[in-house]
Amino acid sequence: MLPSLVPLLPTENDWITFDIPSLIQNFWSATFDGLTFGAIYALVALGYTLVYGVLNLINFAHSEVFIVGCYAVFFTLSSLGFGPSAPRLDIWAIILNLLLALVLAMLASAVTAFLLERIAYKPLRQRNAPRLVFLITAIGASFTIQYLIYLWRGPSPELALTMFRPTPIFDVFGTIVDSQQLVIIIAAVIMMVGIDRFISKSRTGRGIRAVAQDPDTATLMGVNKERIIITTFVIGGLLAGAAALFYVMKIPSGVQYSGGFVLGIKAFAAAVLGGIGNVRGALLGGLLLGLIGNYGQILLGNSQWTDVVAFVVLVLVLLLRPEGILGTSLGRSKA
Amino acid sequence: MSMTDGPTPLRTAAAEQAAEDREASPKAPGRSALRQQGKRKSGYFSDRWHALSRQQQWAFLVIVVVLAYLLPLLNPPIITTEPGNNFALACFDMARFALIAVGLNIVVGYAGLLDLGYVAFFAVGSYVAAMLTSPDSPYLHIPYLWTLPVAMAVTMFFGVMLGVPTLRLRGDYLAIVTLGFGEIIRILATIIPAMKGQVGFQNVGHPPGDGADGTPIFSNSNGVPWYWLTLTIIIIVTLLVGNLERSRVGRAWIAIREDEDAAEIMGVPTFKYKVWAFAIGAAVGGLSGALFAGQVGFVNNQKFDVTTSILFLAAVVLGGAGNKVGAILGGALVSYIPLRFTAIAEYKYLIFGIALVLIMIFRSQGLLPARQRLLAYGRTAMNKITSRDATETKDTDKPPAGPGAHAAGQRGAEA
């Protein structure tokens, strides 16, 4: 029995390492890459967090809202003539094309989220269904959309598209930051600041916070709860669509029927890490999770560890600080 | 549901109960008719089944069980899955799904916790069986039948490990954590060399015994002995689960399912019983995983998609969450439909995904609804309260109602 234990030990071969020198060496590049992924997680996490804040529901189908956006990006760009090699267009044409893809992806995702709410969740809300019923419906809806895509596009990922060749922009701590990373991080942060202002300043945002705090009182005060719920789903969809563009930009081969699944879990973990129901929490949680995942991957020596690390973070947060870093503040604090 | 939710959960529960009561009476005849033509014996369940005497119930059950055992030998013409699929193997698959559904039903149906990574426990059970019996694994080898309890113990351990951090919180978190866990197990099976990734483990063991021609009785190609073994295990597990259901544990689960806050206030240690439900459910999942590994004889990382978890969930929900007979029926159906109608097998995930949504919207109690009333008090007490005719009550009260009912009644009285 004793010698048979040897293969379990990590020294035998390097499926798991604890490579601190490699982490130190790659620290800054891992940081920028992690922030890029984190920005994408954060945009998707916002969709989870907003719906959770308003309805107290984990919208499992949000990952499919996101993947629909990815397909919209793919079809828009491939019909515009983008292919596996970098396009020979001047920079303004590329920007215009990408903006078009962004708008269409946001629309596609928002429409998916809207239909989802109308078809699957509204009938349940109307008859005050128990929580378990909501969750099962959510996972069923997620599954349905996923396999509709599967039957339509098959199991293999779509052709990888290159939107533009990442060019080095500047040098920080000996690490080159390229245009792709910069575009994703800046665009995502602008959107997140925008959504934060929207939630805290605008009339609709106030309505969302009111419904999150107390749906019944909000209704009595003249807030149209149904409209707020739809708005929340649509905002989540819009952000998921934006995230889809950045995701396809970062991982061109990631457009696949099941591509949203793992990203959805990571985005949810990000939302929980920051404090679910909290808009700023989703931002912070997303960026942190992106960093932790990337560091963990380098430390442990295999890219597949990213998912495991994200999962372990989720469990640890639930164990140690279930309200997340910033607490749950869209409505009241929840246990 | 948190304490700050105030009266909302109570009101929700009350409204639901009222809605249920309203729809119960007018729909009852139609419902039982539907069930009668659809499935054997299910039509008798709610009222007529309880109107039968204990002896009649046993007689009926014996017939059903004997028929179930004979099923692969009879190979009934319309029901059979041939020529598309070997019927005996199909029977084993149905039994496997039924066993899984019985296990998942403890978690989802009784305790009302959503476990979306049940396939992970199934995978753990399979790997335990494979790593302890396959010649490809360098570890200790034990006889196959011993791997069944070992697999249960190991998966139970995993269930506790996963349940303790998440079950203190609201049920939603459990759903997403289990969903993640299902994926993580697959990833770990890929990257940890000891788990052999896609290469997997060949020649997983099987129960002992050789046939007349020297080939093992429990071979991969012959589903009948495997089916019988699984069916026997299902019967044992169902009996045990039925006893649990009628015990203090079962009542605690149902209280948690109906309203966790109220249960906590009434002194039910909800966390403890949630972990129990989760761990017991996990153990049954591990058991079925070990059986599957034995029958197929080969385990690798490709067999445990998270999507399979959703099929398991569909089985429980379709049959009726909280009803163990419903779970068996649902599990068998979810496995049977794609095997019988091979033309739609390709669409099975889509079909069961849509089915999940539709069932939740239109008939959230499933084919066989869970019994709501007086679960704890046994049939005598139930007859006393439910029968409108006083004389009839006396009649049914007099004959001894069997040890099970008495014990249940006494336990109910104690509590």
Residue B208 C-alpha, separation from nearest chain A C-alpha, in angstroms: 24
A193–chain B Cβ distance below 8 A for any pair: no
B345–chain A Cβ distance below 8 A for any pair: no
Helix/strand/coil for B299: strand
Residue spans of the domains in chain B: they are 86-205+217-372
Span B219-249, pLDDT tens digits: 777 888 889 999 999 999 999 998 888 888 9
Which residue shows structure tokens 């983008």? Answer: A82
> What pLDDT is attached to residue A290?
92
For residue A144, the surrounding DSSP H or E stretch is: helix A131-153
Residue A68 C-alpha, separation from nearest chain B C-alpha, in angstroms: 16
DSSP class of A159? P
Residue B412 C-alpha, separation from nearest chain A C-alpha, in angstroms: 27
B20–chain A Cβ distance below 8 A for any pair: no
Does position B374 have pLDDT exceeding 50, yes or no?
no
> What pLDDT is attached to residue A113?
94
Pick from B1, B172, B194: CB nearest A58: B172
Q: By C-alpha distance, which of B68, B30, B36 is closest to B49?
A: B36
Question: Which of A232-236, B1-5, B172-176, B211-215 has the lowest average pLDDT?
Answer: B1-5
**Helix then strand then coil, % of chain A, to nearest 5:** 70, 5, 25
Does position B339 have pLDDT exceeding 60, yes or no?
yes
B187–chain A Cβ distance below 8 A for any pair: yes
Computed over its alpha carbons, how large is the radius of gyration of chain B? 22
Does the distance separating the beta carbons of B176 and A268 come in below 8 Å? yes
Helix/strand/coil for A245: helix
> What pLDDT is attached to residue B377?
52
B171–chain A Cβ distance below 8 A for any pair: yes
Task: Indicate which CATH number applies to the domain containing A70.
Answer: 1.10.3470
Number of structural domains (chain A) is: 1
Q: By C-alpha distance, which of B115, B403, B139, B140 is closest to B280?
A: B115
- A63 is a domain residue: yes
pLDDT class for A279, splitting at 50, 70, 90? confident
> What pLDDT is attached to residue B385?
62
- A209 is a domain residue: yes
Pick from B4, B187, B353: CB nearest A334: B4
For residue A177, the surrounding DSSP H or E stretch is: strand A175-178
Span A133-157, pLDDT tens digits: 888 889 889 989 988 998 888 888 8
How many alpha carbons fall within 13 Å on the CB side of residue A52? Answer: 33
Peptide bond preceding A84: is omega within 30 degrees of 0, i.e. cis? no
Indicate if ipTM > 0.85.
no
The residue type at A80: L
**Chain A residues inside the 8 Å CB shell of B112:** 130, 132
Pick from A139, A265, A332: CB nearest B4: A332
Pick from A129, A139, A315: CB nearest B165: A315
How many Cβ pairs closer than 8 A exist between chain A and B? 157
> What pLDDT is attached to residue B379?
58
Span B51-93, pLDDT tens digits: 777 788 888 888 888 888 888 887 777 777 777 778 888 888 8
- A330 is a domain residue: no
The residue type at A199: I
**Cβ contact B4:A335 at 8 Å:** yes
Does position A216 have pLDDT exceeding 50, yes or no?
yes
Q: By C-alpha distance, which of B155, B151, B107, B165 is closest to B321?
A: B107
Average pLDDT of the segment spanning B241-270: 88
Rounded to whole angstroms, the Cα distance separating A307 from A263 reads 9
DSSP of B217-246: SS-SS-HHHHHHHHHHHHHHHHHHHHHHHH
Pick from A16, A129, A148: CB nearest B364: A129
Structure tokens at B42: 């299910």
- A326 is a domain residue: no
**Chain A residues inside the 8 Å CB shell of B4:** 332-335
Which residue shows structure tokens 């539907």? Answer: B34
Q: Where are the alpha helices (DSSP H) in B106-143?
A: 118-133
Residue A9's domain comprises 3-320
Interface of B with A in 356-415 (CB under 8 A): 356-357, 360-361, 364
Q: By C-alpha distance, which of B302, B287, B309 is closest to B125?
A: B287
Residues 6+ apart with CB under 8 A from B96: B230, B288, B291, B292, B295, B335
How many alpha carbons fall within 13 Å on the CB side of residue B320? Answer: 17
- Report strand pairing: A175-178 vs A168-172: antiparallel
Mean pLDDT rounded to a whole number for chain B: 76
**Cβ contact B43:B36 at 8 Å:** yes
